Amino acid sequence: MVTRHRWLKEIPNKSSKSLYVPETIEALLSEGRSFPPPESFSIQANVSDGSIYEEAERDYVSFWEKWAERLDWHTKWDQALQWDPPYAKWFVGGKLNACFNCVDRHTDGDLSEKVAIISEGEPGDVRTFTYSEVKLEVARLANALKLLGVKKGDIVCIYMPMVAELAFAMLACTRIGAAHTVVFGGFSADALRERIADASAVCVITADGGWRRGKVVELKKTVDDAIAGATTVRNVLTLRRIGDSTAFNAGTWVVGRDHWWHELVTKESSDCPCEVMDSEDLLFTLYTSGSTGKPKGIVHTTGGYLTGTSATFHCIFDHKPSDIYWCTADCGWITGHSYVVYGPMANGATVLMYEGSPDTPDKDRFWKIVEKHKVTILYTAPTAIRTFMKWGEQFPGNCDLSSLRLLGTVGEPINPEAWVWYWKHIGNEKCPIVDTWWQTETGQILISPLPGLTRCKPGSATHPFPGIKAELFSEDGHLLEGAKGGYLVLTRPWPAMLRGLYNDHDRYVETYWSRFPGVYFTGDGAKRDDDGFLWLLGRVDDVMNVAGHRISTMEVESALVDHPAVAEAAVIGRSHEVKGQAISAFVLLRSGFEGDHLVGEIREHVASVIGPIARPDDLFVCADLPKTRSGKIMRRLLRDIAEGRALGDTTTLADSAVVAGLRQQYEHLES
- Give one word for 125, left, alpha or beta, with left for phi > 0 and alpha for psi -120 to 50: beta
Q: Binding residue for ligand WTA (CB under 6 A) from 550, 563, 605, 627?
A: 550
- Shortest separation between residue 581's beta carbon and ligand WTA, angstroms: 11
Residue from 332, 413, 427, 573 touching ligand WTA (CB under 6 A): that is 413
Counting DSSP H helices and E strands in the chain, the numbers are 23, 32
- 436: contact with ligand WTA by CB under 6 A: yes
Residues 506-535 that bind ligand WTA (CB under 6 A): 522-524
Per the DSSP assignment, residues forming a β-bridge with 127 are: 119
User: Is the CB of 356 or the CB of 411 nearer to ligand WTA?
Assistant: 411
Q: How far apart are CA 61 and CA 238, in angstroms?
A: 43
Closest to 407 (Cα-Cα) out of 417, 392, 422: 422
Nearer to ligand WTA by C-beta: 264 or 526? 526
Residue closer to ligand WTA by CB (options 454, 545) is 545
DSSP letter string, 390-455:
HH-THHHHTS--TT--EEEEESSPPPHHHHHHIIIIITTTTS-EEEEB--TTT-S--B---TTT--
Closest distance to ligand WTA from the beta carbon of 276 (Å) = 30
Q: Applying CB under 6 A, what is the total number of residues that bind ligand WTA? A: 23
Segment interacting with ligand WTA, rule: CB under 6 A, options 110-118, 407-415, 571-579, 652-660: 407-415
Give the per-residue contact string, 288-317, with ligand WTA (x = CB under 6 A; - = no). Answer: x-----------------------------
Interface segment toward ligand WTA; rule CB under 6 A; list 81-89, 215-223, 255-263, 406-414:
406-414
Chain CA centroid to CA 568, Å: 30
Residue of 176, 192, 182 lying closest to 157 (CA atoms): 182
- Among residues 236, 154, 166, which one has the least CA distance to residue 201? 154
In the complex with ligand WTA, the residue whose CB is nearer, 201 or 334, is 334
Q: At what angle do helices 51-58 and 60-68 cross, to 10 degrees?
A: 110
* Residue closer to ligand WTA, measured from CB, 96 or 461: 461
Residues composing the chain: 671
- Scanning 164-172, 300-308, 496-504, 537-545 for contacts with ligand WTA by CB under 6 A, the matching segment is 537-545
Q: How far is the CB of 368 from ligand WTA (least distance, A)?
A: 26
CB nearer ligand WTA, residue 332 or residue 348: 332
| DSSP states along 201-263 | -SEEEEES-EEETTEEE-HHHHHHHHHSSS-S--EEEEE-SS-TTS----SPPPTTTEEEHHH
Binders in 565-624 for ligand WTA, by CB under 6 A: none
Provide the 3-class DSSP secondary structure of residue 545.
strand
Task: Output the smallest distance, CB 456 to ligand WTA, in A.
Answer: 12
Q: Pick the stretch among 163-171, 312-320, 404-412, 618-626 that binds ligand WTA (CB under 6 A).
A: 404-412
Is there a contact between 529 and 30 (Cβ–Cβ < 8 Å)? no
3-state helix, strand, coil in the chain (%, to 5): 30, 25, 45
Task: Indicate which single residue of 235, 309, 335, 575 sits in contact with ligand WTA (rule: CB under 6 A).
Answer: 335
Report the C-alpha gap between 444 and 354 in whole angstroms. 22
Binding mask 363-402 for ligand WTA (x = CB under 6 A): ----------------------------------------
Instruction: Count CA within 13 A, CB hemisphere, residue 370.
Output: 27
What's the rounded Cα separation, in Å, for the pair 221 and 209? 9
Q: State how far the alpha carbon of 126 is from the alpha carbons of 120, 219, 239, 321, in Å.
A: 4, 21, 17, 21
Q: Which of residues 207-266 bind ligand WTA (CB under 6 A)?
A: none
Q: Does 20 bind ligand WTA (CB under 6 A)?
A: no
Using CB under 6 A, which of 107, 545, 558, 584 touches ligand WTA?
A: 545
Binding ligand WTA (rule: CB under 6 A), the pick from 122, 133, 412, 541 is 412
Smallest gap, in angstroms, from Cβ of residue 425 to ligand WTA?
20
- Give 173 or 536: the residue with its C-beta nearer to ligand WTA: 536
* Helical residues (DSSP H) of 547-596, grouped into ranges: 553-561
Over the window 437 to 476, marking each residue x when it contacts ligand WTA by CB under 6 A and - when it does not, the resulting string is: xxxx--------------------x---------------
Binding site for ligand WTA (CB under 6 A): 288, 333-335, 410-413, 435-440, 461, 522-524, 536, 538-539, 545, 550
